Structure 1
Amino acid sequence: MAETGGRAAQLKSSGLRHGWTTGACATAATTAAYTALLTGEFPDPVTITLPKGQQPAFALATEELTDHQAMAGVVKDAGDDPDVTHGALIRSTVRAGLPGTGVVFRAGPGVGTVTKAGLPLAVGEPAINPVPRQMIRDAVAEVAARHGGSGDVEVEISVDHGEEIARSTWNPRLGILGGLSILGTTGIVVPYSCSAWIDSIRRGVDVARAAGRTHVAGCTGSTSEKVAVAVHGLPEDALLDMGDFAGAVLKYLKRHPVPRLTIAGGFAKLSKLAAGHLDLHSARSQVDKGYLAALARQGGADELLVAAVASANTGLEAVQLCSSAGVPLGDLVAEAARATALGVLTGSPVAVDVICIDRAGTIVGRAEPAG
């Protein structure tokens, strides 16, 4: 049987147990609560559909039903990942909403509220990220269709002890106050193990080479992977789940070259690569706003904009400020990231292009091979 490559092979070869994101847990809790609100009974376990079609089942840890609302809770299992939210109780309280309002999100106790610009949510919104919101909307629509509901509901997500847990995250610095963010793009937590993940990257390169691939993509996550596929039409076994380990991809390709490498990732992470960091994890490298401000100046930004970039809340806010002023900060970061990659690959016949995206998957910067 042919060996599969790409992300699927890397996940299998890591040897670690996967877990579920806070977004998946919130979706499961919402599904159970809304079902109970419509039928009077909580499904336990409750099954949901993740963005890539997987259908995991979740046991309920708590439930409560009144005439006006239903609440269900799921304990997060992060698998073998050292996630600060492992074991947290994530609750969803569902109430009937006004006709025509659809799903309205509320931040309950332990879930943060956005107070600064530069995030993928508007100021004042509950810190429930776009993909979990869509997962919850889809789940509500499915339950409504099955049990004759309107789908107009208020969904309040809360996390027991979430405000305390959030002190161990970057949320306070980012202006997300009052608790945690509800996160996830695939619903699945990939276990974080440096040695296991680096080994899995190497295996991904080996499989791609064995399949005769001449072009591979190192992606920081599932959103950038989708963009790389859309731009270059790459097959699954040409996709490397690089995560934060840009150096692992580059160093292995230097010894085992493939003619073309695409590096695709979020603007903030790739700004770290641009600044010379090969490990993009937040515990070991940070977005350097001073560096971004200097790049903006090179790109023609006036001193007022340079100062705004230097004091931006996030890398995303910095690139948005520059984009509005016609300064190509995204392209400059992509080109600098490409230069860092080529420096590691010196002497190896690998052409490199870089794609920077925002959280929605919109391309905000590109750098192509010379010539």
Structure 2
Amino acid sequence: MSEDQHAADETTDDDVPAGPLRRGWTTGSCAAAAAKAACSALVGHGFPDPVEIPLPRGGRAAFALATTALSGDTASVGIVKDAGDDPDVTHGALVVATLRRGAPGSGLRFAAGPGVGTVTRPGLALAPGEPAINPVPRAMIRAALAEVHDAPDDLVVEIAIPGGEQLAERTLNGRLGILGGLSVLGTTGIVIPYSCSSWIHSIHRGIDVARATGLTHVAGSTGSTSEAAVKALYGLPDEALLEMGDFVGGMLKYLKAHPVPRVTIAGGIGKMAKLGQGLLDLHSKRGSVDLAFLARLATAHGGDPALAAAITTANTAAEAFSLAGRRDIDLGAAIAEAAHVTAAKVVTGAGIALDVLVFDRDGALVGRSSG
């Protein structure tokens, strides 16, 4: 995923198209460019098209204007977001900056227009009540406005993303307490296709919100089935659910530095088997299920050599699990205990009570660690 908006549905590297991938621009870049062009028109210099802005880490970017409007002390510019080859939910969205002169001495103020959310919970980089225009995009807007000759000191900058409230339903904003629309994001201004950074960033922010709201139990899940199952099992609120995906290591390392009293890891048989093997990135391209490892687990829990041989030649972890079940070997519990050992090493010394749950494809609990 990119550093900008990502969908709540799990996306894996298997979905990445072949060949070189085209980079794109974050909503923060589009907002900064639109704000600069609107400011230029507001002070009588017209709408520059294309409009150039500086990027946070050096370099510049140019954007074509999609819409313009000027009326009295208000100017508006819209720029179409191009996320390159990333499956960003905001690709093709219109990012609109509307600028109007503020009261003398009021300085530069930000406002959320239609489709941009508002922060409602503590724990994020912005205080509750603030428009969800993140700190780096705010700095980008300030830097872009500074390049406009005669730009006024007192301005209200409203950022809107028409249709953003509907798009936000496909992101984790609601879970983080960002209501009413999307966030204006981006730390570099550039969207790197299929980057993992935004996914891990959202996990971290979810932990921050959970801690700030006083939650004592969070659950990281590998997918929607295990998430629904662990939510039902423990009666957890949505804000306690972390969409961990394959990034169990990224979640646990952040939790060690920012602990929550109780942490549950929930996932399917194959993913939890890989965690039991010692993998902290559960994606298929980082490693596959070791059937010989599962055979050893089955043997350690009472399985005979014939079962071990059958598991070693199984097609999948699910088939290995089924073979063990026919012999009354609780392979699910064995997988959960092995996964617990791997995870516990990461958070050693953090004072976290950890447990691991293994669910089958139907969301039935088939393994649980004693931790």
Pairs within 5 Å for 1:49-64: 49-64=54-69
The reply on whether 1:330 has 2:258 as its aligned counterpart is yes
The equivalent of 2:98 in structure 1 is 93
Pairs within 5 Å for 1:70-85: 70-85=75-90
Q: Which amino acid aligns with 1:90?
A: V
Which secondary structure state, in structure 2, belongs to the residue aligned with residue 84 of structure 1?
A: coil
Task: Find the structure with the greater CA-based Rg.
Answer: 2
> Structure 2: how far apart are the matches of 1:111 and 1:57?
23
Q: Is the 8 A contact 1:114 1:176 kept in 2?
A: yes
104, 110, 120: which one aligns with 1:105? 110
TM-score, normalization: structure 1? 0.53
> Structure 2: how far apart are the matches of 1:110 and 1:158?
6
Which secondary structure state, in structure 2, belongs to the residue aligned with residue 128 of structure 1?
A: coil
Which secondary structure state, in structure 1, belongs to the residue aligned with residue 278 of structure 2?
A: helix
Shift of 1:178: 1.7
- Matched residue count: 248
Distance 1:122 1:267, change over 3 A: closer
Q: Which amino acid aligns with 2:258?
A: G
> Structure 1: how far apart are the matches of 2:39 and 2:207?
37
Alpha-carbon deviations, 1:191-230, whole Å to 9, x = none?
12xxxx7xxxxxxxxxxxxxxxxxxxxxx649xxxxxxxx
The reply on whether 1:186 has 2:188 as its aligned counterpart is yes
> Structure 1: how far apart are the matches of 2:98 and 2:68?
10
Shift of 1:55: 0.9
The reply on whether 1:129 has 2:134 as its aligned counterpart is yes
The reply on whether 1:46 has 2:48 as its aligned counterpart is no
Which secondary structure state, in structure 2, belongs to the residue aligned with residue 39 of structure 1?
A: coil
Q: Is the 8 A contact 1:20 1:187 kept in 2?
A: yes
Pairs within 5 Å for 1:181-330: 181-192=183-194, 221=197, 266=204, 268=206, 313=239, 330=258
RMSD over aligned CA atoms reads 4.7
> Structure 1: how far apart are the matches of 2:179 and 2:56?
28
Structure 1: give runs of 5+ residues left out of the alignment.
1-12, 198-219, 223-242, 245-264, 295-306, 317-326, 346-352, 356-364, 366-371
Shift of 1:166: 1.7
Which secondary structure state, in structure 2, belongs to the residue aligned with residue 34 of structure 1?
A: helix
65, 71, 80: which one aligns with 2:70? 65
Shift of 1:314: 6.3
- Name segments (4+ residues, structure 1) moved above 4 Å: 267-271, 274-277, 282-290
Q: Is the 8 A contact 1:267 1:315 kept in 2?
A: no
> Structure 1: how far apart are the matches of 2:48 and 2:21?
29
TM-score, normalization: structure 2? 0.53
Distance 1:69 1:266, change over 3 A: same
The equivalent of 1:156 in structure 2 is 158
Q: Which amino acid aligns with 1:19?
A: G
Shift of 1:142: 2.5
Q: Is the 8 A contact 2:40 2:151 kept in 1?
A: no
